[in-house]
Amino acid sequence: MTTTFLIRDALESDLEACAGIDHRYETDYVWQMSVAETTGERQVMFKTERLPRTMEVAYPCDSDRLSLSLADDECFLVAVTRTVMLPTPRGEDDIEDEYDDEHLDTAVTEETVLGYLTMRRDTLHHSALVHEIVVARGLRRHRIATRLLKAARRWAQEYDLLQMTIETQTKNYPAILFCQQAGFTFCGFNDHYFPNQDIALFFSQSLR
């Protein structure tokens, strides 16, 4: 299956469609964190653990957070398909000329949002933090997320940023693999980072 789409800046009119995407994902693995402390030493380890069964995980979508992503210091991209709807011919003459300039002038273009990416620019540290890369279920593994990430990388380079970082959850193993396959390297974590108290993992890549 080939999915044809384009990447563009998000508009306020895209917010409802982005929020309406099914954000859930399935995983068979998680990164299990363990902490060992001795006198003067602390070790934090992450181990890939296979789950006894496939787990479906709810991915909370914050509509207010999406709205804030429209700010000038943020990168908010959407992947969309476009369908050109031509007016219905009215008679035989129209059937013969249904693709003339008059009909094309009245054609309506409809868009369907397939996925989106949000990223915040940190001018102090010359870096960018990717908060979300979301693709509709059923359309994943069609390189939509890859294209969104490439567009975000170009955006960051245009602002002379030096590094990109992606945040994700320890249980979001598909996202962990995506980060690694995209050339991002694990660079840290933050306990109780997300609103549901999940641990955040961070993967970074130099833009130099």
- Amino acid 53: pLDDT: 97
- CA separation, residue 52 to residues 33, 153, 170 (Å): 18, 37, 16
Output the CA torsion 201→183→45→189 (10° steps). Answer: -20
Q: Which amino acid is at 196?
A: N
Residue (of 141, 145, 138, 157) closest to 208 by Cα position: 157
CB 164 within 8 A of CB 131: no
Beta bridge partners of 43: 36
Looking at residue 62, what is its pLDDT?
A: 84
Question: What is the chain's Cα-based Rg?
Answer: 21
- pLDDT tens track of the chain, all 208 residues? 556 899 999 999 999 999 999 999 999 999 999 999 888 888 999 999 999 999 999 987 888 889 999 998 899 999 999 776 566 655 555 544 555 555 545 555 688 999 999 999 999 999 999 999 999 999 999 999 999 999 999 999 999 999 999 999 999 999 999 999 999 999 999 998 988 889 999 999 999 8
State the Cα–Cα distance between residues 138 and 34, nearest whole angstrom: 34
- Give the residues across from 9 on adjacent strands: 77
pTM score of the predicted model: 0.85
Distant-in-sequence, close-in-space partners of 42: CB < 8 Å, separation ≥ 6: 35, 36
In the chain, the N- to C-terminal Cα span, in Å, equals: 35
| pLDDT of res. 6 | 94
Residues 182 and 190: their CA atoms lie apart, in Å, by 22
Region for residue 79 given its phi and psi (left: phi exceeds 0; alpha: psi -120 to 50; beta: otherwise): beta
- Check: CB of residue 19 under 8 Å from CB of residue 78: no
Q: What angle do CA 12, 13, 17 make, to 5 degrees?
A: 110
